Amino acid sequence: MTNPEPVYDVVWPLAPSAAPSGVLAARSPELDGKTVGELWDYLFKGEEIFPLIRRALAARYPSIRFVEYERLGSTHGRDEAELARTLPEALRKHGCDAVISAVGA
């Protein structure tokens, strides 16, 4: 008996990591009263996703503050190397305790 449904071979093109694994910073145990910076590459729906994240976090942590992605610049494009170089100082300047880095997908 033949199968009426098509059969497909599936491959997973996973390559080895190009960068070594590093140690992640410890998560902040509490976000109430903290300032959270938003980083985005301006490529996919961040303008929709970040407001949702802000509302959800503000409902859980009433005194949370945000430095919105427009103030920190795009993490993608011709100026990304300069942003990466200046980002630590910009985060300090804005008083960021934590960062949400997203592509929106």
Over the stretch 90-99, which tens digit does the pLDDT of each residue have? Answer: 999 999 999 9
Instruction: Give the model's pLDDT for residue 21.
Output: 83
Instruction: Give the model's pLDDT for residue 99.
Output: 93
User: What is the layout of strands, in order, in the sheet containing 35-40?
Assistant: 65-67, 35-40, 98-102
Q: Which two tokens stand for residue 82?
A: 């300069």
Q: Mean pLDDT for the chain?
A: 87
Alpha-helical runs (H) found in the chain:
46-60, 69-72, 80-93
Alpha-carbon distance 62 to 16, whole Å? 42
Dihedral (C-alpha) 33, 98, 102, 76: value to the nearest 10 degrees? Answer: 130
Residues of the chain with pLDDT under 50: none
Instruction: Give the model's pLDDT for residue 68.
Output: 95
- Answer for the pair 39, 100: CB distance below 8 angstroms, yes or no: yes
Instruction: Give the model's pLDDT for residue 18.
Output: 77
